Amino acid sequence: MKAAPLDFPQWMRARAAHVELVLDDLLPAPDQAPGRLHEAMRYSVLGGGKRVRAALVYAAGQACAGSGNGVAVEAALDRAAAAVELIHAYSLVHDDLPCMDDDTLRRGRPTTHVRFDEATAMLVGDALQPLAFELLADMPIAPALVVQAVQVLARASGSAGMTGGQAIDLDSVGRGLTRDELQTMHLLKTGALLGASVALGGIVAGASSQHRRALDDYAQAIGLAFQVVDDILDVTADTASLGKTAGKDAAADKPTYVSLLGLDEARALAAELRAAARQALAPLGDSGACLAELADFIVLRDR
């Protein structure tokens, strides 16, 4: 019997709603002390965001399931999806602080330090990070796979990944970067966590090494595509539809794909990366359908 065609928008909505429930359940309750910190953690994580990273975990898990490790894959995918969203949320909270990007709007609402205060926003990040690793440690899969998952997320979050990319970014304001330097910065700052999301799905599902290589190639392409599109949206979209301040990169004289290549060439690069991402999925056959749709979603999104 032929599988029903994929209704991707419906799949994406369902996954986003599902991970929202998982996060709601796993985050500490606001009436549990320290209440203000827990309230701020929940404010920073819940009720917004496209949940692309969570969707990548689920889609990669789905693509590789069947090579399966035979234990509670769904529950483990929930924890992995929640973990990447927690790391992502912490990075946004810290990035918005006055000492970094100094922004007041995120996901259409006041940023965490505006709604609460700076010290609380720092603590939100400090608390979300270890919670993410606690969730991975609790995954009901083989201990060796848990260790791999922890390594992957730790590396993607630290100075060899997102934090390193952020450091390069802060250092680059007001001075030019070559295209290679810009690419390195984005592969670390944005690409590393997107890549970890894809890799975690594969690890949890017990993917073969051939499938893991395909996932890596796919992740490399979407990681860069995500940032190219982010740079395009910064100049083409408005603040209301982005839910964050538009035009900030140009205002801060930040090097971007648009400032380096121009709008048309940046769009052509995004299209090229979308095709490369889809191409990378060939070894996964039909089971890579959601990942393929996610590559389109990342490149064709308007916020």
Interface residue list for ligand GRG (CB under 6 A): 49-50, 52, 88, 91-92, 94-95, 107, 162-163, 166, 189-190, 227, 230
Return the ∠ at Cα 261 (arms to 232 and 270), rounded to 5°.
50
Distance CA 132, CA 3 (A): 35
Distances (CA, A) of 191 to 184, 198, 225, 274: 9, 11, 9, 14
* Residue 38 vs 94, nearer CB to ligand GRG: 94
Q: Which two tokens stand for residue 41?
A: 């953690």
Q: How far is the CB of 132 from ligand GRG (least distance, A)?
A: 13
H helical segments located in the chain: 8-26, 35-45, 52-64, 73-95, 112-115, 118-137, 143-157, 162-172, 179-186, 192-204, 209-236, 239-242, 248-251, 257-261, 263-280, 289-300
* Residue 163 vs 236, nearer CB to ligand GRG: 163
* Residue 39 vs 234, nearer CB to ligand GRG: 234
* Residue 102 vs 216, nearer CB to ligand GRG: 102
Q: How far is the CB of 237 from ligand GRG (least distance, A)?
A: 11
Q: How far is the CB of 107 from ligand GRG (least distance, A)?
A: 5
Q: How far is the CB of 187 from ligand GRG (least distance, A)?
A: 12
Strand partners, 105: 110
243 phi and psi angles, rounded to 5 deg: 75, 10
Check: CB of residue 34 under 8 Å from CB of residue 255.
Answer: no
Q: How far is the CB of 116 from ligand GRG (least distance, A)?
A: 17
Taking CB positions, which residue lies at the least distance from ligand GRG? Answer: 49
* Residue 37 vs 185, nearer CB to ligand GRG: 185
